[in-house]
Amino acid sequence: MRVIAGVAKGRALKAVPGSNTRPTTDKVKEAIFSMIGPYFEGGTALDLFAGTGGLGIEAWSRGVERVIFVDKEKISLDIIRQNVKTAGAESAAEIYRNDADRAVKALAKRDIAFSLVFLDPPYRMTAMDEVMAELAEKGMLESGATIVVEHDAAHRYPEQLEGFEQLKQAKYGDTAVTIYRYIGIDDSDRSETDDNEQ
């Protein structure tokens, strides 16, 4: 694994030992960033099931200003710290050991809005649409934010999600990537609906 492009291009990243963590392959990572970037002008990214931190580090290398990495496994946190250091991204990174639900609740209290979110959980977890809804509900997404969900190719996420539009879905072997843009819920649409119902 390596950083593919940007300021840290070519830096080698470590994988988490064992078979519990499935890092995004360079091929899939390259495909993701060609779909959502390839480069960024600032903004804050959330790498919620960070694993090795490869997606968040790639985003930083390509121009994202700050990245928050979250993983609940201590061994992953150690690898993320090493990889962040290898990439030279220490000043731009916050790294937390937590599960996704608790992390979202804790981050919501800080009034952070993300322009880019990576959701790459273990494949048995298929409720990333619920995580997206919670991020939106708590005001944690900038208008136009990009959400990248990496998941088992056998699972399909819905095209229609309130507040989101699906931009793309692609399969790479047993891995699939579904990309959404946060469009928000227009209050004027909501009030018009209320008026029509009266």
CATH number of the domain at 68, please.
3.40.50.150
For residue 96, tell me if it sits in a domain: yes
In a domain? residue 8: no
Angstrom distance (rounded) from CA 94 to CA 91: 8
User: At what angle are helices 74-87 and 54-61 packed, to 10 degrees?
Assistant: 20
Please, where are the H alpha helices in the chain?
A: 26-36, 54-61, 74-87, 100-108, 128-137, 187-197
Answer yes or no: is 2 within a domain. no
Is 57 a member of any domain?
yes
pLDDT of residue 193: 39
In this prediction the pTM is: 0.91
What average pLDDT does the structure give for the chain? 91
Residue 189 has pLDDT above 80, yes or no: no
The percent of residues above 70 in pLDDT, for the chain, comes to 91
Tally Cβ neighbours within 10 Å of residue 53.
31
Q: What is the pLDDT of residues 107-160, one digit of tens each?
A: 999 999 999 999 999 989 999 999 999 999 999 999 999 999 999 999 999 998
Average pLDDT over residues 182-195: 57
- Domain total in the chain: 1
Query: Domain containing 185: what range?
Result: 26-197
Q: Is residue 92 included in any domain, yes or no?
A: yes
Asked whether the beta carbons of 179 and 119 are under 8 A apart, the reply is no
Q: Does the residue 172 lie in any domain?
A: yes
Q: Is residue 15 one of the residues assigned to a domain?
A: no
